[in-house]
Structure 1
Amino acid sequence: MLATALCGVLITGCSSGSGGEGDDAKTKPAAEPKTVAAGALRPLLLSQADLGSGYVEVHEKTESGKFDDVSVQGCPSLEKLGQSGEEAKFASKAETSFTYDTDATLGEELHSDRPSVLSSKLRALFGAYTSCPTYTMTAGTTPIRVSVAKSATPKLGDEQFAYTSTMELPSGAQVLKTMAVRKGNVAVMLVGAPALVDRHINAAVGKLPAGN
């Protein structure tokens, strides 16, 4: 499914960074919270019980090189992002996805890393995706025109990011919303039908650990 391919390509390369300040040269910066392991992230994912009726969880096996045939043209920032390789990944990750009424999708990813790294990478990621109002994504041999617009975000967690993508698929236009909220050393990202993302972002953030 081409829409799923775009969701999967979303978390790709971006630069990392960190920072710290101190008034006293003899005082070390406060240590950042440690990464939450993938096994500890999984119970924090949304479940069918959280979402309500009409949702069916999709069980997909993660395959190496699954998105190797997806490329981007016409947006230098995204092209560079896709070439970043292993540097792009967060320290740990858990994910799940659902269909709703058979034709709508909602995917969730949880990522954990040091707060400064999460912040830096999310800013770079969403900055790249919103840097070009239009670009072309090629999945296999199928070129897909994508239009992107920044979206408003609710005041949740420590940082919030969102944009909406409209893909011109052979079957017609499809709109996906991508929203991420960082809360300390964990970030939640929802990707899917805009109404579903807006409906469930509060519940997704509510399952994250209480502050660090």
Structure 2
Amino acid sequence: MALTGCSTGGSSENADAKPGKATAGSERPESGRDMPPVADGKPASAGELQPLLLSAGDLGANYTQKPAQDESSKKHDDVAISGCPALDKLGASSNYLKFATKVTADFTYDFSSDLSEELHSDSPRKLSATFRAVDKAYGSCPTYTMTAGSTPVQIGVSKVTPPKLGDEQFGYLLTMSFPGKTIVAKQFVVRQGNKALLLSGSPGLVEKNLKTAYDKLAAKQ
């Protein structure tokens, strides 16, 4: 997952797997960040977000949900970014990239491709400002290096046009080059009021299931 915390977690697709429509996206207009001021509001609780996550039943046949992970056990202190001052600055501002509430769900499809969903909640103003800042940083750094421990990962980011859902939308195609292999992943971000949906993983799975994830989120607005 590339947006919150610049971690190597989340879902991605091995380059040997079929990338679906990975190259179908086009460049996102810069004007997507130039929006009117966003109204403020209170964040939702984890108890309110949890029922809005996707389940294997929502996705259909051949999807298996992975066991839930303890977010507090994840450590990102050994993650460093070079070649992108804007992202490095955001990553150093750990409080800036954290939202009030977060819940996650992870899936595999046919035991070969991955799909990861994160739901975040905070004030609409906080969510909007953060996602716009990261989007601007990505626009300034189409390539950069992320080092997790002692392993350098070369990352290429292309903005893609997401479906027009919610109040704001962002989309990215990421190519991550590890020693000996390359992974391709797509990520869509949709903000709806005081909630935000991040869907990441195999490009084809992300494209196929974004509307399902958004409809479940928006049903309780």
Residue 55 of structure 1: aligned partner: 63
The whole-number CA distance in structure 1 between the counterparts of 2:45 and 2:139 is 30
The whole-number CA distance in structure 1 between the counterparts of 2:140 and 2:165 is 24
Closer, same or farther: CA 94–65 of 1 in aligned 2, 3 Å: closer
Closer, same or farther: CA 50–148 of 1 in aligned 2, 3 Å: same
Contact 1:184–1:211, Cα closer than 8 Å, also in 2 = no
The whole-number CA distance in structure 1 between the counterparts of 2:66 and 2:190 is 23
Residue 121 of structure 1: aligned partner: 130
Select between 39-48 and 118-127 the one with higher mean Cα deviation. 118-127
Question: Which of 11, 18, 22 is equivalent to 2:4?
Answer: 11
Contact 2:90–2:96, Cα closer than 8 Å, also in 1 = no
For structure 1, list consecutive stretches of 5 or more residues without a partner in the other structure. Answer: 1-6, 21-30
1:79 aligns with 2:88: yes
The one-letter code of the counterpart of 2:207 is: D
The whole-number CA distance in structure 2 between the counterparts of 1:205 and 1:165 is 21
The whole-number CA distance in structure 2 between the counterparts of 1:72 and 1:176 is 19
The whole-number CA distance in structure 1 between the counterparts of 2:141 and 2:53 is 31
Residue 191 of structure 1: aligned partner: 200
1:112 aligns with 2:105: no
TM normalised by structure 2 equals 0.79
For structure 2, list consecutive stretches of 5 or more residues without a partner in the other structure. Answer: 7-35
Name the structure, 1 or 2, with higher relative contact order (CA <8 Å, separation 6+): 2
Residue 171 of structure 2: aligned partner: 162
**Residue-by-residue CA offset, 1:132-185 (whole Å, 9 max, x unaligned):** 111111111111111110011101111100111101122411111111011111
The whole-number CA distance in structure 1 between the counterparts of 2:132 and 2:220 is 20
- Where 2:108 maps in the other structure, the secondary structure is strand
1:38 aligns with 2:31: no
Contact 2:5–2:76, Cα closer than 8 Å, also in 1 = no
Residue 98 of structure 2: aligned partner: 89
Aligned-residue offset at 1:64: 4.1
TM normalised by structure 1 equals 0.83
Aligned-residue offset at 1:122: 1.1
Instruction: Using the aligned pairs only, state the percent identity.
Output: 48
Aligned-residue offset at 1:114: 1.5
The one-letter code of the counterpart of 2:62 is: G
Select between 35-44 and 60-69 the one with higher mean Cα deviation. 60-69
Larger Cα-atom Rg: 1
Aligned-residue offset at 1:78: 1.0
- Where 2:213 maps in the other structure, the secondary structure is helix
**Residue-by-residue CA offset, 1:165-212 (whole Å, 9 max, x unaligned):** 101122411111111011111110101111111011101110124586
The whole-number CA distance in structure 1 between the counterparts of 2:104 and 2:135 is 19
What root-mean-square deviation, in Å, do the aligned CA atoms of Structure 1 and Structure 2 show? 2.1
Contact 2:173–2:184, Cα closer than 8 Å, also in 1 = yes
The whole-number CA distance in structure 2 between the counterparts of 1:102 and 1:92 is 29
1:103 aligns with 2:109: no
Aligned-residue offset at 1:32: 3.8
